[in-house]
Chains A and B, each alone.
Chain A
Amino acid sequence: MIIDLDEVRTPTLAPQYDVCIAGAGVAGIVIAKTLAERGRRVLLLEAGGEYFSERSQDVYRGAVVGHEYFDLDVTRLRFLGGSSNHWGGWSRPLDAHDFGKHAHIDGSGWPIGFDDVNAYSEATAEILGIEPVPRDKPVAGSAGDLNEIFFRRSQVWFKDKYGPLLASSENIDLLLRANLLDISLDPTTGRVATFQIRGYGPDDPMLEARAESFVLSLGGLENPRALLNANKQRANGVGNENDLVGRYFMEHPHFDIGHYFVDQKRTDLGRERRIMAPSRQFLTEAGIANCGIRLEVVDPVTRVSLLTKGRAQLSGAVCKSNNLVGLVKKVRPGFRCRQPFEDVLKAVKKLPLDGAGLLRTASEQVPLSSSRVLLADETDQFGRRRLALNWQLSPLDKETIRICGLAVGRYLAEANIGRARLFDWVLDPEAGFPGLDDGEELAGNHHMGTTRMGLSATDSVVNANCQVHGVGNLYMAGSSVFRTGGHANPTFTIVQLALRLADHLAAS
């Protein structure tokens, strides 16, 4: 049943549901659907309607106070289906490596393993309407450093695929335009007693949703905001006794890092898009985070332009080579061409490079305590404090990109199928990251880590079952629970974890 609070201001809700879920995006819909199929009574709250509206989207406005980032009301959508209404559909599970503890990445090591989520891969693929994701394939000629990796492209928009089911299910009450304004705790048990919700009208009554268990599935930015704003009974917010809610915000940085040039008689690269990633052994030995390197195909005009420019740059490199290669033995000042002109021409001509493309990374960001979501002073139309995002990147994030770019370049040269040139900022240890003004994609709109999973309340917000430490019946769903983010788009893992949480809730 669907109830729209714009039409029914005081709906008749069940006195007690089995589970109340705030947020009808990917995670919320999967949990609601799974629980309903098992006979559980579910109240699903969606703050938006069935379509985009300025009024709802305005609640997402916030401040960006750290590294440059997208406007917070643009990076996500606040209506039924959530961000699945504008996602690209790229689907791939995290690697087994991503769940492990690695000495060079502080705070790595999930309390659950790859097998715990992999058990839900088949069901996840079915929900996303995709075939199973093919296994990684070692890249021949890369000396075991690189794997070719694969994604599937989901065409599922959750509102369209699962909306009718939500409407017809006897076990689901879906409340539209229901804004979660507060979380009330039972003062005796410390468990959640009610979710306080309200429609948009200034005189709309405050409604109380009661359930055995409660789930927040509002996305990686709103999940911490809901906990931090619930500060009437807990001064620092619910579940925030250790000042961890909102910290460890992670993204998947996306950057153009250079160009590749190939001999198309020897390879399909340049004609076909390929994605590579460092092997597990390479990641460990290099001491870097995970990374996907996309060898993007460009249109014919751009290809010609890249080749022309590339040959000119290569000539410049050959000129400088007498100085730079000599650095190993002796530093020579000056950058004027020290090679005879005919030698430069010969060197450039020797390389039969007739294909070209863009090297782009989508990398893992290591968790950083200072990278965080905070409450701003400004309030929204409901008097709840808005978000401030302080996104921070670390030197290891830069190093990950540099090492991965070099690995692909080395592979092309060693296999003698092409050469690569990396941009100056990638190789310059003093240079920062480029920004949106430089035409960069910047990041994936993937908001992770802000209520991260762990064994102890001293270093995490939720436990291995996604339950908020110290609040027995409150659970978090979505990528906010990611301990580390890997490099794969998060939706596949979000669905796996949602199915796992639904299993847990159904069993409890």
Chain B
Amino acid sequence: MRMLTRRVFLRFWTALAVVALGLPQGSRAGARRDEIILVDGWILRASDLPKDAR
């Protein structure tokens, strides 16, 4: 039960972080708009992931 609660909390937290971190990158020359996401502790660009995962 405790593990389940932890997992639910962790997922909720991760979802929040994805939203919080998912700010537009801006318009740096040569860079396309990208989102910053949190996946399993990794802070990544959405474009780091395979296309169907974004």
Inside 8 A of B54's CB, which chain A residues have their CB? 325
Asked whether any CB of chain B lies closer than 8 Å to the CB of A430, the reply is yes
Asked whether any CB of chain B lies closer than 8 Å to the CB of A166, the reply is no
- The answer to whether B36 and A321 touch across the interface, beta carbons within 8 angstroms, is no
Q: Could you mark each residue 23-53 of chain B with 1 if its beta carbon is under 8 Å from any beta carbon of chain A, else 0?
A: 0011000010000111111111110111011
Asked whether any CB of chain B lies closer than 8 Å to the CB of A339, the reply is yes
| Contact status of A321 and B14, CB under 8 A, knowing A351-B48, A419-B44 | no
**Whole-angstrom distance between the alpha carbons of A325 and B44 in the complex?**
11
Inside 8 A of B46's CB, which chain A residues have their CB? 325
- The answer to whether B43 and A325 touch across the interface, beta carbons within 8 angstroms, is no
Interface residues of A in 403-453 (CB under 8 A from B): 406, 409-410, 412-414, 416, 419-424, 427-430
Inside 8 A of B39's CB, which chain A residues have their CB? 317-318, 320-321, 324-325
**Whole-angstrom distance between the alpha carbons of A423 and B14 in the complex?**
13
Of the candidates B6, B13, B21, B50, which one forms a contact with A321 in the assembled complex, judged by CB atoms under 8 Å apart?
B50
- The answer to whether A414 and B41 touch across the interface, beta carbons within 8 angstroms, is no
**Whole-angstrom distance between the alpha carbons of A339 and B53 in the complex?**
8
- The answer to whether A419 and B42 touch across the interface, beta carbons within 8 angstroms, is yes
Inside 8 A of B42's CB, which chain A residues have their CB? 313-314, 317, 419-421
Inside 8 A of B31's CB, which chain A residues have their CB? 416
Number of interface residues of A (CB under 8 A): 41
Inside 8 A of A322's CB, which chain B residues have their CB? 52-53
The A-B contact count (CB < 8 A) is 104
- The answer to whether B38 and A320 touch across the interface, beta carbons within 8 angstroms, is no
Of the candidates A258, A318, A320, A413, which one forms a contact with B45 in the assembled complex, judged by CB atoms under 8 Å apart?
A413
Q: Could you mark each residue 335-369 of chain A with 1 if its beta carbon is under 8 Å from any beta carbon of chain B, else 0?
A: 00001100110110011000000000000000000
Inside 8 A of A410's CB, which chain B residues have their CB? 21, 36, 43
Task: Write the nearest CB–CB distance from B13 to chain A, whole angstroms.
Answer: 6
Interface residues of A in 290-332 (CB under 8 A from B): 313-314, 316-318, 320-322, 324-328, 331
- The answer to whether B37 and A429 touch across the interface, beta carbons within 8 angstroms, is no
- The answer to whether B40 and A313 touch across the interface, beta carbons within 8 angstroms, is yes
Of the candidates A325, A347, A422, which one forms a contact with B37 in the assembled complex, judged by CB atoms under 8 Å apart?
A325
Inside 8 A of A423's CB, which chain B residues have their CB? 41
Of the candidates B17, B26, B45, B50, which one forms a contact with A406 in the assembled complex, judged by CB atoms under 8 Å apart?
B17
Inside 8 A of A351's CB, which chain B residues have their CB? 48
Task: Write the nearest CB–CB distance from A257 to chain B, whole angstroms.
Answer: 10
Q: Chain B, interface size: which category?
A: 20 to 34
**Whole-angstrom distance between the alpha carbons of A258 and B39 in the complex?**
14
Task: Write the nearest CB–CB distance from A32 to chain B, whole angstroms.
Answer: 50
| Contact status of A429 and B9, CB under 8 A, knowing A321-B49, A346-B50, A347-B50 | yes
**Quick one: closest B residue to A403, CB to CB?**
B20
Inside 8 A of B9's CB, which chain A residues have their CB? 428-430
| Contact status of A321 and B15, CB under 8 A, knowing A412-B43, A430-B6 | no
**Whole-angstrom distance between the alpha carbons of A258 and B40 in the complex?**
12
Of the candidates A324, A340, A344, which one forms a contact with B40 in the assembled complex, judged by CB atoms under 8 Å apart?
A324
**Quick one: closest A residue to B47, CB to CB?**
A350
**Whole-angstrom distance between the alpha carbons of A324 and B44 in the complex?**
13
Asked whether any CB of chain B lies closer than 8 Å to the CB of A143, the reply is yes
**Quick one: closest B residue to A422, CB to CB?**
B41
| Contact status of A325 and B40, CB under 8 A, knowing A413-B45, A416-B45, A429-B13 | no
Inside 8 A of A327's CB, which chain B residues have their CB? 11, 14-15, 18
- The answer to whether A427 and B48 touch across the interface, beta carbons within 8 angstroms, is no
Task: Write the nearest CB–CB distance from B38 to chain A, whole angstroms.
Answer: 7
- The answer to whether B36 and A318 touch across the interface, beta carbons within 8 angstroms, is no
Inside 8 A of A419's CB, which chain B residues have their CB? 42-44, 48
Interface residues of A in 202-241 (CB under 8 A from B): none
| Contact status of A320 and B41, CB under 8 A, knowing A327-B18, A331-B11, A414-B25 | no
- The answer to whether B43 and A406 touch across the interface, beta carbons within 8 angstroms, is yes
**Whole-angstrom distance between the alpha carbons of A429 and B13 in the complex?**
8
**Whole-angstrom distance between the alpha carbons of A327 and B14 in the complex?**
8
Task: Write the nearest CB–CB distance from A482 to chain B, whole angstroms.
Answer: 32
> Can you name 17 extra interface pairs (CB under 8 A) apart from A324-B39, A339-B50, A413-B45?
A317-B42, A318-B50, A321-B49, A322-B52, A324-B14, A325-B46, A325-B54, A328-B15, A340-B50, A347-B49, A406-B17, A406-B43, A413-B43, A413-B44, A414-B36, A421-B43, A429-B13
In the complex, the 8 A-B pairs of residues with the closest C-beta atoms, listed nearest first: A409-B43, A317-B40, A343-B50, A327-B15, A321-B53, A317-B42, A317-B39, A322-B53
**Residue positions of A touching B, CB distance < 8 A:** 143, 258, 313-314, 316-318, 320-322, 324-328, 331, 339-340, 343-344, 346-347, 350-351, 406, 409-410, 412-414, 416, 419-424, 427-430
5 contacts between A and B (CB under 8 A): A322-B52, A346-B50, A422-B43, A427-B14, A430-B9
